[in-house]
Amino acid sequence: RPLVRYGHSGFAKRGEDYFLVKPDCLRIPGDPSSAFSVFAVFDGHNGVSAAVFSKEHLLDDVMSAVPQGISREDWLQVGDSRCILDTQGGVVSLLTVDHRLEENVEERERVTASGGEVSRLNVGPLRCWPGGLCLSRSIGDTDVGEFIVPIPHVKQVKLSNAGGRLIIASDGIWDAVSSEIAAQACRGLPAELAAKLVVKVS
């Protein structure tokens, strides 16, 4: 099992983002070989209810649905939060898919093929109608219609024995800084300091 070090940081102002850090979970109680870690960002919008609910229930709900024999590195994501992997060799890999309609042609096509409408107001990003949400996948948002789905993007990654660094953040970070700049800014730093620096450079 890889050694896991982590840090977290956020903006000083109160927002709608929540995070979950569980570095020492056991898939099978009492069996250290079933150990895994969970790191998540829940980017609330239009209120905090779905973000808080997801933080409190997602891990148990997902674990109850996963067959016991599965042991792998999986990333599940909806929305526009992002997870990147910065390897020891300096290669930055995107582990998530941005579900903003403005950037994701496949998601625009999925929404319109399902009968939804994608258009913009006089200003601002592309939105899904009914509802007007600029994301195509989200947890919650039951009031915006059937075209916004909670079905996650899932990616499986084989981690190198050399290790690497994950940076997981909401759009508040990624709207201000690129994946490459965030990775470069925290290389060689302890995890807690790196987390604070990523927030600072954004």
Ranges of the chain whose pLDDT falls below 50? none
pLDDT at 159: 81
Domain borders along the chain are 17-201
Whole-number CA gyration radius for the chain: 18
Q: Report the predicted TM-score, pTM, of the whole model to 2 decimal places.
A: 0.84
Give me the phi and psi of 61, to 5 degrees please.
-65, -40
Q: CA 106 to CA 116: how far, in whole Å?
A: 14
pLDDT at 93: 93
Q: Is the CATH number of domain 17-201 3.40.50.300? A: no
Q: CA 134 to CA 124: how far, in whole Å?
A: 9
pLDDT at 109: 96
Cα dihedral sign for 153, 57, 83, 178?
positive
Q: Is 78 in contact with 99 (CB distance < 8 Å)?
A: yes
| Bridge partners, residue 40, by sequence | 20
